[in-house]
């Protein structure tokens, strides 16, 4: 047994049985080991950003880490943007990165780089295995880090000779760490704030608090105390749809967020962070909470927020009967022109039971939340780190994790072009993903940001850097070239029909919404 085989056996024994991969020369012994060892599903991505993003989506839906296989420093670097998003979402991933043989590194071959230095900003755990006998133990430690609470991104660097030299065997992964229960004092303090603050208090939630059960408890607390419940602007996963407590998120746009938050005197954080602006803008605040508003942390990402909400509801004597009825947007089949409102209605009507919605719709999707609250029950995944090219890989990984659920990926045309190779992987694996590309032929969010930062009126050269026309992108043709059937729609009636057909069919489909 060589080092690579001992690592694969350790991964499989530790419950890491999916490898999203884009290998190179240094990883060939690991590739051979994947061929020999039973139990590992290997999913090829044609770009490392697809590989790392898929691992993020897999963790968000499965709750256990997948592995990635990346080629040296440049391969890792290609995947860093989506590792950034995964880190912000507290997704557990085990990265395996091949390295030159230890005796070859000193010759400064063309692909030589500081892999540990590249890995550290996006990984909470980084280690280079010094020899074959260390590989299995290092792999077990990486799995333990990825399964910790909160989960971490672990990067294990595997020199080629460490992979091909003889190893002893496999290592046992330490018992999975659980989320700490919660601080009783923090819950008691939050209860006191809510008793005294009522409607002037905001429960700001994210993470595990946004499960169906966590939201139901928050609904009881809100009904009992009159407090407001909101989610962060972006969240790793949120239970939504008919029968579930529908909450708003803090708007991305500062001018919309400030009036919503202006009257709160207290904010209770449940895994969430202080509400801050996404960017700095001239003459606009970075902190979105009003002056004098006190912030109280009830739980962090390492703690059991659902148990804390149960304790908080108990302390406040909040019962299911305290939950207030919610008025949801009435769903109606849209007709006529494609507008943000008609697109939102069409999507809300089309969402099937237990769907997974992956949202990188950027400007088009800012109005999606009100109507989709009345859709069939579903999960909603968002981009936590802001690095675009997030949605198509995450949808790919989510579909691998949940093959019995329909995944609907919503993405702007500019974002889609970053990791469009995801479609090829979806076709090869036969994944149930419907990709909706909103094609407005412009980085619309950047056009708004140009105004927001006070850069003046854009001239022709500036506009050329914001528009993505000349030539126009043909997403139907691009999808066809990667094995995914697609169609373009230019009105609401055709969009409704295309959605119904795409959701009814197995395997991947693409719809280009021409706006």
Tens-place pLDDT, residues 415-465: 999 999 999 999 999 999 999 999 998 777 777 887 888 888 888 888 888
Separation CA 158–CA 145 (nearest Å): 17
41 membership: H or E segment, kind and range: strand 41-44
- Judged by DSSP in three states, 311 sits in helix
Separation CA 346–CA 146 (nearest Å): 38
Q: Are 415 and 492 in contact (CB under 8 A)?
A: no
The structure tokens listed for 274 are 């202080």
What DSSP line would sit under 400-437, residue for residue? HH-TTS-EEEEEEHHHHTTSTTHHHHHHHHT--EEEEE
Low-confidence stretches of the chain (pLDDT < 50) are none
- Residue 452 has what pLDDT? 84
- Residue 460 has what pLDDT? 87
Alpha helices, H only, 253-316: 254-261, 305-315
Strands 238-240 and 378-382: antiparallel
Query: What secondary structure letter does DSSP report for 377?
Result: S
- Residue 101 has what pLDDT? 97
Distance between first and last Cα of the chain:
57
Q: Are 201 and 228 in contact (CB under 8 A)?
A: yes
At residue 397, what are phi and psi to the nearest 5 degrees?
-65, -35
Nearest to 224 by CA among 155, 111, 334, 309: 309
Nearest to 59 by CA among 483, 339, 381: 381
Alpha helices, H only, 430-491: 444-452, 460-466, 475-481
Alpha carbons within 13 A on the beta-carbon side of 41: 12
Residues in the chain, total = 515
* pLDDT digits 0-9 by tens, 32-87: 999 999 999 999 999 999 999 999 999 999 999 999 999 999 999 999 999 999 99
Separation CA 344–CA 358 (nearest Å): 14
Q: Are 420 and 86 in contact (CB under 8 A)?
A: no
Q: Are 211 and 306 in contact (CB under 8 A)?
A: yes
Separation CA 246–CA 208 (nearest Å): 16
Query: What secondary structure letter does DSSP report for 102?
Result: T
pTM of the model: 0.96
Give 111: exposed, middle or buried? Use CB within 10 Å, 0-12, 13-18, 19+: middle
Q: Give how far Cα 464 sits from Cα of 297, 473, 474, Å.
A: 45, 15, 19
Buried b (16+ CB within 10 A) or exposed e, 28-62: ebbbbbbeebeebeebbbbbbbbbbbbbbbbbbbb
Q: Are 170 and 13 in contact (CB under 8 A)?
A: yes
Largest CA distance in the chain: 71
- Residue 262 has what pLDDT? 97
- Residue 75 has what pLDDT? 98
Separation CA 194–CA 197 (nearest Å): 5
Q: Are 95 and 125 in contact (CB under 8 A)?
A: no
- Residue 499 has what pLDDT? 98
Query: What secondary structure letter does DSSP report for 40?
Result: -
Cis peptide before 471 (omega within 30 of 0): yes
Nearest to 68 by CA among 34, 39, 102: 34
Separation CA 403–CA 215 (nearest Å): 26
At residue 67, what are phi and psi to the nearest 5 degrees?
-105, 160
- Judged by DSSP in three states, 76 sits in helix
- Residue 449 has what pLDDT? 83
511 beta partners: 436, 487
Separation CA 76–CA 121 (nearest Å): 12
At residue 249, what are phi and psi to the nearest 5 degrees?
-110, 155
Chain CA centroid to CA 437, Å: 18
Q: Are 139 and 11 in contact (CB under 8 A)?
A: yes
């Amino acid at each position: 047994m060589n080092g690579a085989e001992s690592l694969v056996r350790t991964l499989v024994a530790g419950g890491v049985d999916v490898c999203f991969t884009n290998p190179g020369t240094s990883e060939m012994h690991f590739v051979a080991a994947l061929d020999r060892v039973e139990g590992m599903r290997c999913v090829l991505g044609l770009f490392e950003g697809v590989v790392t993003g898929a691992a993020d989506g897999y963790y968000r839906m499965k709750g256990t880490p997948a592995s990635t296989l990346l080629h040296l420093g440049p391969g890792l670097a290609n995947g860093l943007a989506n590792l950034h998003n995964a880190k912000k979402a507290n997704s557990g991933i085990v990265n395996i990165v091949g390295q030159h043989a230890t005796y070859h590194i000193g010759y400064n071959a063309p692909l030589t780089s500081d892999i540990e230095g590249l890995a550290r900003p996006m990984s909470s755990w980084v280690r280079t295995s010094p020899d074959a006998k260390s590989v299995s133990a290092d792999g077990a430690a990486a799995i333990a880090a990825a399964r910790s609470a909160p989960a971490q991104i672990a990067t294990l660097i595997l020199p080629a000779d460490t992979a091909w030299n003889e190893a002893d065997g496999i290592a046992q992964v330490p018992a999975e760490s659980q989320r700490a229960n919660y601080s009783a004092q923090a819950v008691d303090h939050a209860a006191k704030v809510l008793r005294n603050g009522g409607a002037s208090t905001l429960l700001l939630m994210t993470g595990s608090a946004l499960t169906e059960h966590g939201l139901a408890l928050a609904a009881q607390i809100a009904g009992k105390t009159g407090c407001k419940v909101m989610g962060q602007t972006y969240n790793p996963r949120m239970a939504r749809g008919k029968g579930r407590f529908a909450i708003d998120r803090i708007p991305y746009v500062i001018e919309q967020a400030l009036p919503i938050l202006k009257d709160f005197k207290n904010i209770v954080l449940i895994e969430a962070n202080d509400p801050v602006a996404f960017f700095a803008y001239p003459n606009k605040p970075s902190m979105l909470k009003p002056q004098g508003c006190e912030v109280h942390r009830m739980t962090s990402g390492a703690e059991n927020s659902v148990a804390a909400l149960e304790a908080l509801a108990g302390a406040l004597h909040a019962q299911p009967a305290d939950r207030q009825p919610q008025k949801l947007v009435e769903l109606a089949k849209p007709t006529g022109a494609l507008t943000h409102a008609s697109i939102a209605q069409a999507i809300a009507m089309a969402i099937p039971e237990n769907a997974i919605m992956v949202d990188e719709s950027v400007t088009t999707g800012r109005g999606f939340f009100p109507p989709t609250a009345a859709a069939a029950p579903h999960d909603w995944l968002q981009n936590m780190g802001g690095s675009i090219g997030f949605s198509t890989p995450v949808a790919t990984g989510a579909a691998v994790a949940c093959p019995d659920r329909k995944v609907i990926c919503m993405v702007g045309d500019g974002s889609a072009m970053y990791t469009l190779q995801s479609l090829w992987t979806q076709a090869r694996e036969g994944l149930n993903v419907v990709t909706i590309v909103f094609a407005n032929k412009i980085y619309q969010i950047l056009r708004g940001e140009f105004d927001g930062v006070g850069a003046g009126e854009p001239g022709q050269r500036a506009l050329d850097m914001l528009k993505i026309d000349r030539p126009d992108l043909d997403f139907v043709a691009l999808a066809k070239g990667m094995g995914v059937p697609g169609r373009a729609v230019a009105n609401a009636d055709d969009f409704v029909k295309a959605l119904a057909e795409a959701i009814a069919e197995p395997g991947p489909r693409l719809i280009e919404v021409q706006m």
